[in-house]
Structure 1
């Protein structure tokens, strides 16, 4: 099922159980703005290539829109629209003063030089400049973008505006107004959600058997933090496949191996598995942290994990959700599980606007406090209404936006 269709199906499943006026229901099905831009840049060989870029702002009822920028050959308007909608529910669920947005460029960053990516980023920023700003829409890093990408975006925006504007993006280097803890914020949030899930399973982190699909920033950070607490990370994968060791993998050594080899392949003393194999490994906690649509109706019946903590956006389809719910496999939904990144992005934005920066232990304490509070709120609603945690999380997020729309009214 196409990603946007899957997200809209989940939306309909939720709002069917809510008493929303038809106008509000229909209004939230559609993004407020969808921008498609042409991005011509000169390549290192002198040729001119033209790329297609997107920025979708789904909703701005609660505040300026917020969401990442991804560079990937599969980026398209439908994917970006679906991700922007998920960001709306995520920001509302986490009680942040943001709406949801997402952006991206259809390109193959692995085949581009650093200078080509810089030219791409600067031209893309100039094409969407009228739509972004610290009080309008605040981009952040996502798939194949990073602190350097955000530095280029901030610099381009500032040059065109004529003054330095730190708060136009988040996920920046510290020297340019970035926040301590931002780079590992999403992965740390996933770690906190595994910790909370272990409590309700009656288990401790020490000895907890964990499988992680995706070993990028999110997956590797969660793996490292769990490994430091004594969890057994028994399986890990990247885009080329996975590795398995029933006794646990030394994550610190694996991270060093990946830094040197740019992949997990050829890591010693492990069994080679596929990404699909990883999803059905016998474990306590499964963390899908790669891309959407990984757990489907075709493999959900074979999932052996006690809990799934969604590090990626949309890794589980609505059909898979129903199968997992029937099998009593608890799913910590993406809009909660991977919200650590946008929470610390909010911290960074606040610090930039105030020109006052916090200590890292203060940031981590605030993040853990917020994540644990929302987790327990979602869990409580799930238990009270006898619905799964995704349904509870989406209900809380959508209701918050719907209530705000009702109070604000409809202009004109």
Structure 2
């Protein structure tokens, strides 16, 4: 039954949790969660169950610094849900990591896994620290002590970490080794995003950007736009943004603008993306001074007229402040939460199709699942097989959400939450509540 946009919102859907505030990704997530819950007519108990994390762990992480002094950091791990399978999610190191942020990211992982049909629940972790101020040895000691404190949480059948902000394959290797030493056996399935020599998967680094492009091509097909006839703008030129730009370029799209922390770079005739990537690589991963395009601001970049806009930088980049100035036909969210909840309706009124983050950037967790499967089997796939299976799963997920969108006459983002929440709720009803 199509959703009535004039339906009155009442009851518990508006009561629990903080009210909408564009500064908080958690609040944006809760606003979208409430909307889907009302369409699905979830009862109050189910709503509260799905809105509440299964487990929240806060640990002190004492580290002996190179100076000999002891410094204590705070670490987190939130398991939002494990109904579909063991929980899965990254670990981030940053000075502003906090429990509310980790809770929001863990819940996003739950819906993301459900949407792409990966048998995992959602989790997230973090340590409040500035990794740029830590030596390599301090970073290793921090990682190993955090892991030791999480030995009863982590496990290949319980909770599987992965890289996130300021963490990488080396940190995953330290986590794997610490867990393995305590388990008295090598357990490479306890983390994903590892070096290939330790059981990592081919294609993992490019997976998120590749997934973004797969769903972008699907959206272009629905809009009747040929990839080699479209223009693309990409905000952010890190791993996700650069891979997305490169793959769109290879599809024949004219990539007219890219950006990084130094600003935007615009060329109406198109940018040679492999050349730009090579320039950034030689310039300390920076586009500063890139002379093949005109310098513009990131705000100006977001407002360029184009067929495809891929925000792959930070959260809250499109809000009521600038949503009415966006001139893209399709937005594919490469970053987490680049559009605030109170900007959704503005973009919808402009007729812009938004492919939401919990679908668009789910390529990373999909290939993490592939890595876990390969580790459990002890048999590893070629990169071509990884990419083929990733493309198939991402395209199937897009088609599922598009069907839900058509059925309820809602946006793709709303369809994503409806689909993901319904899958977890249906599974929970079938399993029941253990008492």
CA RMSD of aligned residues (A): 1.4
Correspondence for 1:349? 372
Q: What's the secondary structure of 1:203's corresponding residue?
A: coil
Equivalent residues of 1:206, 1:231 under 8 A apart: yes
1:158 deviation in Å? 0.7
Of 77, 82, 85, the residue aligned with 1:60 is: 82
Inter-CA distance 357–253: structure 2 relative to 1 (3 Å threshold)? same
Post-superposition CA distance 1:222-272 (Å, at most 9, x none): 111112222222222223322222222221122122222221111113222
Inter-partner Cα distance in structure 1 for 2:74 and 2:430: 38
2:367 aligned with 1:337, yes or no? no
Q: Deviations over 1:165-207 (max 9, x none)?
A: 0100011111111111111111110111121122122222224
Give yes or no for the alignment of 1:377 onto 2:400: yes
The answer to whether structure 1 residue 242 and structure 2 residue 242 are counterparts is no
Aligned counterparts, 1:122-161, within 5 A? 122-161=144-183
Partner of 2:428: 405
CA contact (8 A) 1:227 1:251 kept: yes
Residue 86 of structure 1: which of 90, 94, 108 is its match? 108
Match of 2:246 among 224, 227, 232: 224
1:184 equivalent to 2:206? Answer: yes
Q: Following the alignment from structure 1 to structure 2, what is the Cα–Cα distance between the partners of residues 239 and 36?
A: 32
- Looking at structure 2, the residues matched to 272 and 39 of structure 1 have their Cα atoms a distance apart, in angstroms, of 44
Report which stretch shifted further, 84-93 or 273-282: 273-282
Q: How many Å separate the matches in 1 of 2:227 and 2:267?
A: 18
Find out whether 1:265 has 2:301 as its counterpart.
Answer: no
Q: Which runs of 5+ in 1 are unaligned?
A: none
Alpha-carbon deviation of 1:147?
A: 1.3
SS in 2 for 1:306: strand
Per the TM alignment, residue 109 of structure 1 is displaced from its structure 2 partner at its CA by 2.2
CA 1:234–1:153: 2 relative to 1, 3 Å = same
Counterparts of 1:240 and 1:119, CA distance in 2? 33
Q: 1:40 to 1:259 in 2, by over 3 A?
A: farther
Aligned-residue offset at 1:338:
0.6
- Aligned with 2:328: secondary structure? coil
Q: 2:58 aligns with which of 36, 52, 55?
A: 36
Alignment of 1:194-213 (within 5 A): 194-213=216-235
What SS does the aligned partner of 2:74 have? strand
Q: Distance in 2 between matches of 1:224 and 1:64?
A: 34
Report which stretch shifted further, 352-361 or 199-208.
Answer: 199-208
User: Which shows bigger deviation, 281-290 or 393-402?
Assistant: 281-290
Q: Does the Cα contact within 8 Å between 2:271 and 2:292 map onto a contact in 1?
A: no
Structure-2 residue corresponding to 1:360: 383
Cα offset, 1:219, TM superposition: 0.9
Matched residues in 2 for 1:191 and 1:111: separation?
A: 35
CA deviations 1:350-395 (Å, max 9, x no partner) are 1111111112211111111111111111112212221000111111
Query: Secondary structure of 1:17's match?
Result: helix
Query: Aligned-pair distance for 1:325?
Result: 0.8
**Distance in 1 between the 2:372 and 2:101 partners?**
26
The SS at the match of 2:137 is helix
The 3-state SS of whatever aligns with 1:178 is coil
Aligned partner of residue 206 in structure 1, secondary structure = helix
Distance 1:239 1:120 in 2: 28
Map of 2:413 onto structure 1 = 390
SS in 1 for 2:155: coil
2:46 alignment partner in structure 1: 24
Matching residue within 21, 34, 37 for 1:12: 34
Distance apart, 1:275 and its partner CA = 2.2
Match of 1:326 in 2: 349
1:48 shift after superposition: 3.1
